[in-house]
């Protein structure tokens, strides 16, 4: 039962109110509020990208649970899977390896592995759009 609950929760997007909230229409909650910009991106990746925690750094992964280091290892940094493409290329979501991995289009570009996150549900479309918008708007902190 606990594993089923964990499986269901892994597919839930992070929803945290912000001092400058943006209302999002949702079938379940019309008054739902979500963080936007880097705050929203960090809230999402720190929740959904558990493989990239501090304990995994020695295994070749990087820490996406620390806000400062997460930004520094994502933006403008070449992907280990495809060094000719940055993980996040500010202003260019379709040239950002992170977006290709999340949208399961990374193999078309010459990347490796499976979509991200590799277990549980794929990110919901609204979370993908939030990431895409953040990158398109310059991927600022």
Residue 141: inside a domain, yes or no?
no
pLDDT at 29: 28
Contact call for residues 58 and 48 (beta carbons, < 8 A): no
User: Is residue 88, in this structure, part of any structural domain at all?
Assistant: yes
Q: What is the pLDDT of residue 132?
A: 97
pLDDT of amino acid 34? 58
pTM for this predicted structure? 0.69
**Tally of domains in the chain:** 1
**pLDDT at res. 52:** 52
Per-10-residue mean pLDDT, the chain, length 141: 36 39 37 68 82 49 78 93 96 97 96 88 92 96 92
Whether residue 42 lies inside any domain: the answer is yes
For residue 117, cis peptide bond before it (omega within 30 degrees of 0)? yes
In a domain, 55, yes or no: yes
Range of the domain at 108: 2-136
The DSSP output letter for 14 is P
């Amino acid at each position: 039962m606990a594993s089923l609950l964990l499986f269901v929760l892994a597919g839930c997007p992070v929803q945290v109110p912000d001092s400058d909230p943006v209302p999002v229409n949702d079938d379940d909650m019309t008054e739902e509020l979500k963080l936007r910009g880097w705050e929203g991106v960090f809230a999402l990746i720190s929740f959904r990208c558990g493989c990239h925690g501090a304990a995994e750094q020695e295994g070749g992964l990087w820490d996406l649970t620390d806000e400062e280091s997460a930004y520094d290892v994502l933006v403008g940094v070449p992907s280990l899977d495809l060094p000719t493409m940055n993980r996040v290329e500010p202003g260019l979501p379709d040239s950002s390896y992170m977006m290709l991995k999340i949208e399961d289009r990374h193999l078309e570009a010459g990347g490796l592995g499976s979509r991200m996150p590799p277990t549980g549900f794929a990110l919901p479309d609204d979370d993908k759009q939030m990431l895409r918008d953040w990158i398109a708007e310059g991927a600022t902190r």
